[in-house]
Chains A and B, each alone.
Chain A
């Protein structure tokens, strides 16, 4: 298959991706997705729509049963980082050692990457917590460590699977704005899974709406609001308009599914 190269070149392309589990469950059917460098894309949808599965396939956790996936037109997986809903920190290791993990697995000693680690600790605002253990951190702080661990690899694409889903509303909103600032400042590419429509609209350049049984993409909505997005954006009519649009699509899909 010949890949045409649009401008700008896609970082990641999913073409007609299917995922059928061994028990016959169709998790994904014909999913197409095109990620350009610098985009902040959110996948929203009800549980069981396969939004997390998309992320896991992109990360190489399991293979699609059909379709193809390309990284800038090649097969080689790019440098990526994954942030799970569960912060998944090693309880026996302090903050620095937890963040060091991906680099340690590449054979880089702590001494050689210590400045790099300190820099991501500063980025996520955890100065002074370097030698604390996970049990000494709050839920929001643990998530910051988890994000720092992802950032330390300087990923070309950041995959986030409902990273703030288990946090209280205040913490979530704070981390949302922090993440958005970092994204703007560093020109990252983010693929973000959430079931929270408001979060998706507030953060994203584009919201992909998915439906369940079988998991598929039903809408692709560019959020045309400029950055930086102030907190007042959350209460603007433009924001409400997008949220209503997405909710309408979701409830329509649901009624079709039931009927």
Chain B
């Protein structure tokens, strides 16, 4: 009996290791393949630098690139936090009445579907004395919609029988919101959060590109842009690599947060045998 149990645990453990090893292996193969390809075909570094050159450039230019990355991190985090706060508040407002939702939701959609590249220059001009804030606003516009739409959906998805129960026990609107609708919305909200985190970064990068085209210095995307202009392609790849790592870090961080918060109860965070 005891032996069986250890076997089950052993299996679980090896599965956990493999879930890390498998993607790492794919990554390694890709990098090696890339390196081999560059060596064999002798592509000049200004067209496609090999991974070794990229890493070397990254180390050399770290003093220049890392502060830029920090600026982008600041823009992303601020836009993301603004998206979370405003998104949740607007969703709560929408959930108060079907009519509020119907009246305002189309405009939230419009904000979402407006190409940020098109309006970013205007926002930068409007907030001319504060480029940083302009970039935050651009990233916020891109990031806030998933929070609004997911949280609104979640607030309206509270179990019907539980709603009846709250009514029978004389719960106030406020109590129903706090004790039933908000917890019910949590998994939906967290789903929106994961999408929104990545979008905040994309919004920041796009806005930095637009600002950079106008000659304004900002974060890591500006470095990508400038390196590309100057044909410093290895430097461009180094900056791209940093942006990618940042994006992955945001996603992983938010996934861990989501799993932690839902660990006790939600299907998405529960590991089942069957």
Pick the residue among A84, A92, A94, A105 that contacts B169 (CB under 8 A): A105
List the A side residues contacting B240 at CB < 8 Å. Answer: none
* A135-B265 contact given A92-B183, A101-B179, CB 8 Å threshold: yes
Q: Is the beta-carbon distance between B183 and A61 smaller than 8 angstroms?
A: no
Any B CB within 8 A of the CB of A90: yes
Interface residues on B, range: 20 to 34
Which chain A residues numbered 47 to 83 have a C-beta less than 8 Å away from chain B? 56, 59-61, 80-82
Pick the residue among B161, B171, B186, B265 that contacts A88 (CB under 8 A): B161
Q: Quick one: closest A residue to B183, CB to CB?
A: A92
Could you give, for residues 97-121 of chain B, a 1 whenever the CB lies within 8 Å of some chain A CB and a 0 otherwise? 0000000000000000000000000
Q: Is the beta-carbon distance between B266 and A88 smaller than 8 angstroms?
A: no
Q: Is the beta-carbon distance between A84 and B165 smaller than 8 angstroms?
A: yes
List the B side residues contacting A133 at CB < 8 Å. Answer: 264-265
List the B side residues contacting A101 at CB < 8 Å. Answer: 165, 169, 179
Pick the residue among B168, B180, B183, B270 that contacts A82 (CB under 8 A): B168
Task: Tally A-B pairs: CB < 8 A.
Answer: 52
Any B CB within 8 A of the CB of A220: no
What is the bound-complex CA distance between A90 and B182, given in angstroms?
Answer: 12
Any A CB within 8 A of the CB of B66: no
CB distance from A103 to the nearest CB of B (A): 9
* A80-B161 contact given A91-B266, A92-B265, CB 8 Å threshold: no
Q: Quick one: closest A residue to B162, CB to CB?
A: A88
Q: Is the beta-carbon distance between A80 and B168 smaller than 8 angstroms?
A: yes
Any A CB within 8 A of the CB of B64: no
Q: Is the beta-carbon distance between B167 and A102 smaller than 8 angstroms?
A: no
List the B side residues contacting A61 at CB < 8 Å. Answer: 164, 167-168
Q: Is the beta-carbon distance between B162 and A90 smaller than 8 angstroms?
A: yes
CB distance from B179 to the nearest CB of A (A): 7
What is the bound-complex CA distance between A60 and B171, given in angstroms?
Answer: 13
For B168, B179, B180, the residue with the greatest tally of chain A CB atoms inside 10 Å of its CB is: B168
Any B CB within 8 A of the CB of A86: yes
Q: Is the beta-carbon distance between B265 and A105 smaller than 8 angstroms?
A: no
Interface residues on A, range: 20 to 34
Q: Is the beta-carbon distance between B167 and A92 smaller than 8 angstroms?
A: no
CB distance from A55 to the nearest CB of B (A): 11
Any A CB within 8 A of the CB of B166: yes
List the A side residues contacting B167 at CB < 8 Å. Answer: 60-61
CB distance from A237 to the nearest CB of B (A): 39
What is the bound-complex CA distance between A60 and B179, given in angstroms?
Answer: 21
Pick the residue among A84, A86, A105 that contacts B170 (CB under 8 A): A105
Residues of B within 8 A of A (CB): 159, 161-162, 164-171, 175, 179-180, 183, 186, 264-266, 270
Residues of A within 8 A of B (CB): 56, 59-61, 80-82, 84, 86, 88, 90-92, 94, 101-102, 104-106, 133-135, 153
Across chains A and B, which 5 residue pairs bring their CB atoms closest together, nearest first? A88-B161, A91-B265, A102-B169, A92-B265, A105-B171
